[in-house]
Chain A
């Protein structure tokens, strides 16, 4: 506990003699106006008068005490008592890239996916989140950031765009490649958008995850196949969590070549997980999965936090003020 404006205390103490001096001058002026009378025992000897005088004096004492208390409390509050504490904020060094397939086949599901992304982003605290959308080419909507307000704002814009109410420019730049819905290229772009480890930090200290929302319906020839992208992810130690809005069974003949199954293979192969979009386990599962990626939270540099603790003096001042108001109230005759 310390006082930020500690110099207010000596200043207030210095004001006391000044106030006393002024009060004395006023007292003298009033004393000069008093009329001299003789035989005041005519009144002062009356028990009724003595009772009234006692009451008057008690009231004055109460007023003086409450006034003093009010002034002291106000001065203390003005000096800003504050508590200085040192905190080491926890930093979960996790980077998460939301990777969204914006192809025509995902059209109906994108808004729902963005909702899920929004609820995922709300669950994280201390992680960096980025968003990349892709169709035939990938566009980074925003890079990794821990400004969650901005993240929510961008996700809201994405949702508006996918609902068809937006300006349409949101998806600009996603059709530059050959074909459409090039999942492997998109995933590879997402994997590429993790920044290199900063100077002096050993690579791999930050846990990296990609949340990939796609139905894995490929149309066209990607430069990188999904399996190659998965291998790249494994190579870079990135976990891929797949969200599939169209987790359909394409019959037993499709076998392991079913899009969902392949996606599952890539995701689980990288140490991630696979969920259908409408699965109730999707959000909590991904959150626990990502949080499990790095148990050892890194503690940030110690920061000193100063918080005002004026509750007690202000409360005392309030009480004293109430007493002062109550005691100085007199019924008007």
Chain B
């Protein structure tokens, strides 16, 4: 099996040579500007801390794990947060599975962080549960993370619910991190906003939206992944109930207009919420758009928006 990271690197190098030589060096700054290598203090170990940061002597004296604060501040951790539910196995705007685009985006940013010397962790899952891989440095680890996302994203997964993953991050990570959230065109509700506000208070957040498939103008029939179970899909019942969207049915101008308006409203609702919270956002509809989107994302973040 071809390495997922290899794919990411090949995409990245093409773009990097043409667009910006500085990209590979990383364009995001350290969290703790001006702090030195100095030892600050010790604090209690929390999940997500690197084991190698543990001050074993202090731990032995104290009786419970302690980590050195300065190490954590110096070495930033990038936490990749994504959804591996059924939604991400659906088609993107340009027809690829959204999961593939997500893997590519996670890989690009993860690889930049890796080149920067940062640790990369992962929180992914669906409404059924969340899986977390701790932050570590190294290409092998990054490959493992991408593999985890790639392998768990399928049409047979549980339905998507990004709030579950966000909630997991809120509850389990006290360390300040850089978060990259890769999600699809979800419509954020009050719960999402509350979680994001809470996360934003602690972490730096980048948000990459993977564009969903266009529902109009496709000749083929479609079905909503949320409306079927895995069993129904394999038995050929996909979309027998509410999920079926007969292709070529809704071709009238009135529907097209309403659909375009609805899409614009949805986009602006999401974008305005993220802007309100100070979360940089970009979107990608195909794997070709991932690198430009990451560019935009990092540029926006540098500008503070």
What residues of chain A have their CB less than 8 Å away from a CB belonging to chain B?
Answer: 24, 27-28, 30-40, 42-49, 52-53, 56, 333
Contacts and interface: CB of A to CB of B under 8 A. Distances in A.
A53 B246 CA distance: 9
B266 A40 contact: no
A38 B98 contact: yes
A53 B235 CA distance: 25
Contacts of A48: 250, 252, 254-255, 258
Contact of B220 (A27, A33, A47, A56): A33
Given A38-B160, A42-B266, A52 B255 contact: yes
B220 A39 contact: no
B260 to A, nearest CB: 11
B46 interface: no
Ranked nearest first, the 4 interchain pairs of A and B with the lowest CB-CB distance are A28-B236, A40-B224, A38-B87, A38-B90
A46 B263 CA distance: 11
A333 B86 CA distance: 36
A37 B218 CA distance: 11
Interface in B244-260: 244-246, 249-252, 254-255, 258-259
Contacts of A32: 236
Given A37-B224, A40-B224, A56 B249 contact: yes
Contacts of B213: 35, 37-38
B277 to A, nearest CB: 21
B193 interface: no
Given A27-B236, A53-B249, A37 B255 contact: no
A34 B221 contact: yes
Main SS of chain A's interface residues?
Answer: helix
A45 B261 CA distance: 12
A134 to B, nearest CB: 88
A46 B243 contact: no
B185 interface: yes
Nearest to B265: A42
A38 B238 contact: no
Contacts of A42: 185, 212, 215, 259, 262-263, 266
Given A46-B262, A49-B258, A53-B249, A38 B237 contact: no
A35 B86 CA distance: 13
Given A27-B236, A37-B245, 8 more contacts: A28-B236, A33-B220, A34-B220, A36-B89, A38-B185, A42-B262, A48-B250, A333-B251
Contacts, number: 114
Contacts of A31: 223, 236-239
Given A31-B237, A43-B259, A46-B262, A37 B250 contact: no
B236 A39 contact: no
Nearest to B221: A34
A28 B185 CA distance: 29
Contact of A40 (B237, B245, B251, B258): B245
Given A42-B263, A46-B262, A48-B254, A36 B216 contact: no
B6 to A, nearest CB: 27
A56 B255 CA distance: 14
Given A34-B221, A39-B184, A52 B249 contact: yes
B229 interface: no
A268 B245 CA distance: 96
Contacts of B187: 39
A143 to B, nearest CB: 78
Contacts of B249: 52-53, 56
A36 B88 CA distance: 10
B255 A46 contact: yes
Contacts of A24: 236
Contacts of B251: 333
B186 interface: yes
Contacts of B255: 46, 48-49, 52
B223 A34 contact: yes
A40 B243 CA distance: 8
A24 B227 CA distance: 20
A167 B187 CA distance: 105
Given A27-B236, A30-B221, A52-B249, A36 B259 contact: no
Contact of B91 (A28, A36, A52, A56): A36
A39 B225 CA distance: 8
B222 interface: yes
B57 to A, nearest CB: 52
B254 A35 contact: no
Given A34-B222, A35-B218, A36-B223, A43 B89 contact: no
B179 interface: no
A56 B237 contact: no
